[in-house]
Structure formats: structure tokens, C-alpha cells
Structure 1
Amino acid sequence: MKSYKFKVNENGYTVNIKSHEDNIIKLEVNGTTYDVVMSKEIKKTKTPTLVRSASKRPTEPLKVNPKSQVTRIVAPIPGVVLSIDVKVGDTLKVGDRMLVLEAMKMENNIVCEKAGTITALKIVVGQQVLQDELLIELE
């Protein structure tokens, strides 16, 4: 495995480590083989775990301007539109499902945050959307 050269009191030693299992090491010193038992068990290294600290700012709810006549529903995350459950002219109340967005192999229901009537659909089923892309307008 590995070879080392030592000098102790002006005497040279060549140490070859032959094997290492648990706490037993087989080594060869200047041609003589020795089995060395370690007094403590060697700790095995673990794969480091990366820990990310929590976000310092709270999650932001969907921004709906109560004074605005038109409410813009945007994609909260990038994904693919799986289904659209509304059509232009539908009247919605808070909590009604408008569409299903697939992101990272998970289906996310996009629900109505403000009651109103659908004025425009800016997407179609199967379309890929980016984060903050306009999906639906309602009044």
C-alpha cells in the first residue's frame, strides 16, 4: 500500500504498510513482517452533510393589489401546465382551483386568492412557464 522511510538514532528504517483492516495493521519493517493492533478503533470518515441555514426573510404571499381592477396571477415556480380548470368569463371565489402546475414531478394546485371574473388566459395545457410568468388575469 504505502512505504515510509524513518531515521531513529541514526538508524534507517523502511516501513511498508501491507494491509489495514479495522484496528489491525500488517506492516513490514526492513523486511520483517509485523501485525500491529491499534489501541483505539479508527473512526471512519463520513460523507459531509451540507446544512443550509433557514432563509432570513419570510415567505412572501401572492401579491394582490386590492385597489387594482385587474389581478394578475403569475407562476410561483417554473413548471408545465397540466390542466386549466377555468375559462374566460368564469366567476371565481377565493380558494377555487384555477389550474394545476407540474414542477419537479409534483402537481401544484394554483388557487384563486381574490374573487373575480376571468378576463384572460395567457397559457395553454402542456405549456412550460417560468417563475413570475403571467398565467391568468381576472377582474
Structure 2
Amino acid sequence: MKKYNIKINGTEYSVKIKNVENKIVNLTVNDVPYEVEVEGITTNPTRLTTKEIHKPTLQSIEPVIKPKISSGKAYELRSPLPGVVMELKVKEGDAVKAGQLLLVLEAMKMENNIESDRDGIIEKIKAYRGDAVLEGDVLLTIK
């Protein structure tokens, strides 16, 4: 496992890369597990080098970060960054499809659409309109 301390816009993050297989990287950011799809990896799937990392422009940033399923049967959707919940688009008991907009999170004066990456039923909403959340906080659970 490789460990990196990185700084983005003045905020420090501890990143641990667990493994790389094809285009999928399993890693943790501040101890929150993620599965990240990385375009353009051409090396051996077990080795990721810094030569493959490039500095993205704002136009090229398209997050593909998918939080992993936590322990238990329900999937916990966690906040990808600190911010304020601006709008909820679902309620408990709603059926959702992969790609469906679940909520809008304001972070650094930008609105970020948080979408479902799976089909399921909204089991529990844990962050409501106006709530301030930190990176990694559970926003809702999907069964």
C-alpha cells in the first residue's frame, strides 16, 4: 500500500492507494474508502507510477469517485467534500435509479449534483436542507 499526503486548494489529504486493477483504483482519502476509475492507465495493473498522474484543468475534471459499500446491508452515500445541503431531490422510501439526482451540495460557492450510482430505495436521509456536512459524512442510505 502506498501512502501520499497531498494538498488541494490549501486542504491536506491523506491518500492510501490499496491496489490498481485495470482502470479501477481502490484507495482511501482521510480513511474514507473509494473506488476510482482512472482513464489512461496503461501500465501493469499492479503498479501505478507518478508519470501517469497529470495536473487536470477545471475543464477536464469529471469526478468518477464512487464511495464503497460500508458494513451492513445498506449502502451509505457519503459526502465527497465539505459543504451545505442546498436541496434534497428524494425522500425516504423513494425508489431511485443509477444516475438519478439525489441532492445538491454547495461547496466553495459551487453547486455540486450528488447522483446515485445504483438502483435502490432511499432507506434513511441523514442530512437535510441547510445542514453543513464534512467530507465523508453520511448523507443518506440506499437499500
TM-score, structure 1 normalization? 0.55
Instruction: Give the equivalent residue in structure 1 for 2:42.
Output: none
| Structure 1, unpaired ranges of 5+ | 1-52
Measure, in 1, the Cα distance between the counterparts of 2:110 and 2:81: 12
**Mapped contact 1:118–1:136 kept (Cα < 8 A):** yes
Q: Which has the higher helix share?
A: 2
1:104 aligns with 2:108: yes
Q: 1:61, 1:123 → 2: CA distance?
A: 20
The counterpart of 1:86, out of the listed 90, 115, 139, is 90
Question: Could you tell me how far apart the structure 2 residues matched to 1:101 and 1:54 are?
Answer: 33
Question: Aligned letter for 1:69?
Answer: K
For the 8 Å contact 1:64–1:114, the answer to whether it is kept is no
Which of structure 1's runs of 4+ aligned residues deviate more than 2 A? 53-57, 63-69
Give the match for residue 76 of structure 1: 80
Show the counterpart of 1:47.
Answer: none
Preserved CA contact (<8 Å) 2:67 2:77: no
Q: Structure 1 residue aligned with 2:122, among 97, 118, 132?
A: 118
User: What is the Cα deviation at residue 65 of structure 1?
Assistant: 3.5
Deviations 1:83-135 (A, max 9, x none): 00000000000000000000000000000011100000001100100000000
Instruction: Give 3-state SS (helix, strand or coil) of 2:66's partner.
Output: coil
Find the aligned partners of 1:135 and 1:76 in 2 and give their Cα distance: 10
Structure 2 unaligned regions, length at least 5: 1-49, 55-62
Change (3 A) 1:54 1:88: farther
Distance in 2 between residues matched to 1:98 and 1:54, nearest whole Å = 36
Distance 1:120 1:54, change over 3 A: farther
Q: Which residue of 2 aligns with 1:23?
A: none
How many residue pairs align between the two structures?
86
SS of 1:62's partner is: strand
Give RMSD over aligned pairs.
Answer: 2.8
Using structure 2 for the length normalisation, give the TM-score.
Answer: 0.53
